[in-house]
Structure formats: structure tokens, C-alpha cells
Amino acid sequence: MKRYSAFSIIKNGLAGHKHWERAWRDPKPKKAYDVIIIGGGGHGLATAYYLAKNHGITNVAVLEKGWLGGGNAGRNTTIVRSNYFREGNTAFYEHSLKLWEGLSQDLNYNVMFSQRGHLNLYFTPAQRDALARRYNTMRLNGIDGDWLTRDQVRKMVPHLNYAEDARYEIMGGYLQKRAGTARHDAVNWGFARAASNLGVDIIQQCEVTDFITKAGRIVGVNTTKGEIRAEKVGMAVAGSTSLLAHKAGLGNLPIESHKLQAFVSEPLKPFLDTVVVYANGHGHFYISQSDKGGMVFGGNIDGYNSYAQKGNLPIYTDVASCAMNIMPALGRIKVLRQWAGIMDMSMDGSPFISKTKIPGLYLNAGWCYGGFKATPGSGWCFAHTIAHDAPHEINKLLTLDRFEAGIHIDESGHGPFPKAH
């Protein structure tokens, strides 16, 4: 692999950009691998990369039924943060954020990680107190978080709705400065290129249709490109998790598939240099501006089980009214595109990076709508779990059987109702 550098850009630029080598190989599948990863989203690709890089396991295939980044990895609103409260999540998301901080260098690929800050607004004393509890817990865990007064918020983002007769009056905010956004496609491509360079085979248009077991152990998978053998198989298929789990014989999982929409506006001149979010009785809303200028925003999930990658109108209007509530200046901006992805919503809103009851089969799922930020950490921990047949200290609570033991990692306190997380 030729390394990307300022020099390579100039050189290739002078040659009319005709001689860039392809970013990752496009091999035919071999008959057998040491490890098969199902799902070429961010998590599957990151897992393959860290298997090769951290554990020296390079005889790895990533099998993707469509194309890289065609799932949630290429559909998300790209927010990266580690402002979590519950044991099990705190250390994991902070570990992931630390990996983000060195990711472009590590992958030799500009993932455009921008630590522009993540500002969580509050409108009532009760919200202030709940967030104070969360952000104080973060600080005790060594995660950065600051409390801003209304005036400080106003100084930082002057064009929010500060009207005193606003339906919800901004009282202040909590800021995680190290949080921000990254370019989702670049993350997928960067992991794919770096993994391929270390020997990983990335095989697109290859759907896993079934599992092959021998004496209760996994020994391979059937795919639309034939049978492929491996003693270890890791699943990272996000919204399709239950479908494959049934085929593997894992039975029902603590997961429901729901859809989440995202929206992007026509490009604007620089307008917002941080991520602004809020969740109150009125709604749930998050917004940032992409480097191309589009306002990227979203809100709640549609709220009923779905495998249709298309959104429904009520959330569209909800999100639009949330936008107007907080940023009336957006009123005349046109929405350019809108889409949806299928999320693996878990029963407590927290993920699984876990062994399963089938030896040789590992599960990475339950990301709800927060798995983009987890991409490097998830791959790192899943690779460890697969390589050692045991979880790392950091993901040891994110087990599939935790509900059986009465353990919930429930950030929002909503209980076992996936639509509410």
C-alpha cells in the first residue's frame, strides 16, 4: 500500500489523479479463514483491522451482503462523544473516543475527526440536575465535561433561540469539548484500506445465508458465493442481527429492529461550529454542520419495529419543529435529503460485544442509534474478544446474557422497551 501524504497528493495532482492505486483489494473468497466477520459496516471493518493489527490474526475475511458502508455506517449523523453515565458504558465509550483521537494517523486516512464539541442544552432545573449528575460522574471517571450557564452558551452559539418567551427557554448547557463529528464514509474506507493492507480479505456482494456447525461448534458459513470455513465467526450486522441469530440457532435475542431517520439541508456558509443537542418533553434533536455545509440533523426513532430503510412523516415534522424551536434561523432552509437506517435496539439501550452460547460464534450488536462513535472501540474490543475467546476488561459487562443475570446498563432508565431508548 502506498501511504497517503501531502507529497502523494501533490504528485498525483500533477499527474491528473490518474494513478492512485485502489484503496483496498477485491479478492475472491478463499475456502477457509481463521476468522470470518459478517457485516462490512464500520464495526465489522474495524474488528478485522484490530484483529490483524493488535492480535496478528491476518487470515480474516469480512463478508458484506451489499457494499461497504451501505448500512448504518453510511447513514448516521456522525456524532462522536463519550458522555455516558453507567458502568459498562463509561470506560468503553471513553476508550473509543481516545482511539478516535489518533485514528487518522493510525489508519493513514483522514477520517475528518473534528473535536468541535458537543453541547447538550437544558431548559428546566430538573434537566440541569439530571445532567449535572451525569457530567459529574463523567468527571469522576476522568472524562471531560463542563457546565455552561445561559450566558456562556450564548457566547458560544449566539444564534440559538434565546427569546424569553420561547416555548422552551434555554437555561444553560453541558459541553464535552473532546466530542465532535467525523466523516462516516471516510471511517469505513479508512478501516477497509488499512485492514486490506494487513491481509484482510474484504468481500462485497456476499451474503451469509446460514451457519455450518459441527458438534455444536461453528465451523463456517454458507454464503451467496459458496461455503466458507472458519473456526471463529463474528457477527456485526446491526439491524439484521435477529435474522442471522435465528439462523445460527441463538433463538430470540434482547433486540428489536427499529428505524431512525436523518436529514441534511442544502449547503450553507459556515453557520454552526459545534454539535447542539437537546432532549426534553418537547422532543429529541441533534444538529451539526458538515464540512460541505449541509446542516445534518435528526431526532427520535420512528417508534415501531421496522426493517424498511425509509422514514415516516410524523418524525419528519417532529424534527422540523425541534429545529425551529432551537434555531428559528433555519426556517427558510430547504431539506435536501432524508433517509433511514435500521437499528439494533437493545432492551436497555446498551450494546453487546460478547461471546454466545455457541462456541466459536461471537456477537457485536445492540448499538441502538449510538454506534458510530463506538466504531473504533467496538472493533478493538470485539477483536480482543474473538482473539482471546474472552472479553477485554473494557467490554466485560456488555454481555448478551446480562438480562438473565438481572444486570441492565440503562442510561435513560426506561426499562425493557426498545422504542424508548
Ligand X SMILES: Cc1cc2nc3c(=O)[nH]c(=O)nc-3n(C[C@H](O)[C@H](O)[C@H](O)COP(=O)(O)OP(=O)(O)OC[C@H]3O[C@@H](n4cnc5c(N)ncnc54)[C@H](O)[C@@H]3O)c2cc1C
CA-CA distance, 18 to 6, in Å (whole number)? 17
Q: Which of 33-41, 88-96, 135-143, 382-390 is the region at the interface with ligand X (rule: CB under 6 A)?
A: 33-41
User: What are the phi and psi torsion angles at 4 (to 5°)?
Assistant: -80, 140
Number of residues that bind another protein (CB under 8 A): 27
Q: Which amino acid is at 378?
A: S
The verdict on 208 binding ligand X (CB under 6 A) reads yes
DSSP state of 419: G
User: What are the phi and psi torsion angles at 117 (to 5°)?
Assistant: 90, 155
Binding mask 309-348 for another protein (x = CB under 8 A): ---xxx--------------------------------x-
CA-CA distance, 174 to 210, in Å (whole number)? 47
Q: Which amino acid is at 235?
A: M
Q: Is the dihedral of CA 239, 223, 65, 18 positive or negative?
A: positive
Interacting partner of 94 out of ligand X, another protein, none (Cβ under 5 to 8 A depending on kind): none
Q: Which amino acid is at 271?
A: F
Binding mask 205-244 for another protein (x = CB under 8 A): -------------------------------------xx-
Q: How, if at all, do strands 35-38 and 232-235 pair?
A: parallel
Q: Which amino acid is at 302?
A: D
Listed in sequence order, the DSSP H helices in 20-115 are 42-55, 90-101, 103-107
C-alpha cell at 198: 494487513
Q: Is 280 helix (H, G, I), strand (E, B) or coil?
A: coil
The verdict on 253 binding ligand X (CB under 6 A) reads no
The verdict on 244 binding ligand X (CB under 6 A) reads yes
Interacting partner of 63 out of ligand X, another protein, none (Cβ under 5 to 8 A depending on kind): ligand X
CA-CA distance, 397 to 379, in Å (whole number)? 16
Which helix (H) or strand (E) segment holds residue 387: the answer is helix 375-388
Least separation in angstroms between residue 214's CB and another protein is: 27
DSSP state letters, 171-191: -EEEEETT-EE--HHHHHHHH
Q: Which of 304, 337, 389, 390 lies at the binding interface for another protein (CB under 8 A)?
A: 304
Answer whether 281's CB lies under 8 Å from 318's CB. no
Residues 6+ apart with CB under 8 A from 114: 180, 181, 182, 291
Q: Which of 4, 33, 35, 43 lies at the binding interface for ligand X (CB under 6 A)?
A: 43
Interacting partner of 111 out of ligand X, another protein, none (Cβ under 5 to 8 A depending on kind): none
CA-CA distance, 396 to 241, in Å (whole number)? 20
Interacting partner of 253 out of ligand X, another protein, none (Cβ under 5 to 8 A depending on kind): another protein
The verdict on 279 binding ligand X (CB under 6 A) reads no
Least separation in angstroms between residue 370's CB and ligand X is: 4
Q: Which of 9, 66, 307, 389 lies at the binding interface for another protein (CB under 8 A)?
A: 307
* Closer residue to ligand X, CB minimum distance, 341 or 349: 341
Q: Which of 36, 79, 218, 383 lies at the binding interface for ligand X (CB under 6 A)?
A: 79
Least separation in angstroms between residue 307's CB and another protein is: 4
The verdict on 252 binding another protein (CB under 8 A) reads yes
The verdict on 416 binding another protein (CB under 8 A) reads yes
Least separation in angstroms between residue 217's CB and another protein is: 23
C-alpha cell at 164: 424569553
DSSP state of 348: S
The verdict on 367 binding ligand X (CB under 6 A) reads yes
* Closer residue to ligand X, CB minimum distance, 238 or 327: 238
Give the residues lining the site for ligand X (CB under 6 A).
Answer: 38-44, 63-66, 70-73, 75-79, 207-208, 236-238, 240, 244, 260-262, 298, 341, 343, 367, 369-373
Give the residues lining the site for another protein (CB under 8 A).
Answer: 242-243, 251-257, 303-308, 312-314, 347, 403-404, 415-420
